Amino acid sequence: MKLSGDLRIFSERLGHTFAKPELLVRAVTHSSMVSPHRDDNQRLEFLGDRVLGLVMAEALLSADPNAPEGLLAPRYNALVRREACADVAREIDLGAVLKLGRSEMKSGGRRKEALLADAMEAVIAAIYQDGGFDAARRVVLDLWGDRVRNVAADARDAKTALQEWAQARGEVPPQYVEVARSGPDHQPVFTIEVRLASGLAERATAGSKRQAEQAAATALLKKVDK
């Protein structure tokens, strides 16, 4: 099998030449394109998630040999979570080469965060199966780049930090309420309000509930820390 022109250019962006091009084709094939002669990327996604996790665990241990597990775990989570995978996918324009069914294309599938993150993990697995762990590690570390080097010394997310702040003062955990939603179904915008039992509250708007919750928690943390 030979790669199409767009996939050949994409493989160059990855920095990996596939000995088995069919692996890359499968990695970019969404389940909406499945046929008797075409496999989707779900099994590769499952494997890629584990490969990415091992690469990041090794990288973090190497970068900070003395860090306790309590610091390593949140750093790890920041590097492997859906948002990070989707960000990398956008940087290499993975969405442009995805093979999607008609309905998924119409609903903006090439821009969906979950779909991009899953495909990114599938691509990592394809590289692993094609070239082994060393090849996968090299590509992952190159693509994640500064994310690995600059991951915060304490990467606990804002929601965790706010909950710990409340618990330390004997308060119940913060509540997150969706107060507004706008935009088309394939590109929604959420407004989330986070509330403390004391009555303090903050709102934030973002393209996903998680991002809006994090932004609201960050804003409220700034208020309570004053």
Determine the Cα angle at 113 with ends 69 and 47, to 5°: 55
Q: Which of 45, 104, 118, 121 is the catalytic position? A: 121
157 labelled catalytic:
no
> Are 166 and 172 contacting, i.e. CB atoms less than 8 angstroms apart?
yes
104 labelled catalytic:
no
Q: Which of 49, 118, 130, 202 is the catalytic position? A: 49
Buried b (16+ CB within 10 A) or exposed e, 58-93: ebbeeeeeeeeeebbebbbbbbbebebbbebbeebe
Edge-to-edge strands, sheet with 175-182: 175-182, 189-195, 201-206
Tally the C-alpha atoms within 13 A of residue 157's C-alpha that lie toward its C-beta: 16
Rounded to 5 degrees, φ, ψ at 169 are: -105, 10
Q: What is the DSSP string of 1-59?
A: ----HHHHHHHHHHT---SSHHHHHHHTB-GGG-BTTB--SHHHHHHHHHHHHHHHHHH
Residue 59, both tokens: 């990288």
> Are 27 and 41 contacting, i.e. CB atoms less than 8 angstroms apart?
yes
**Residues designated catalytic:** 49, 121
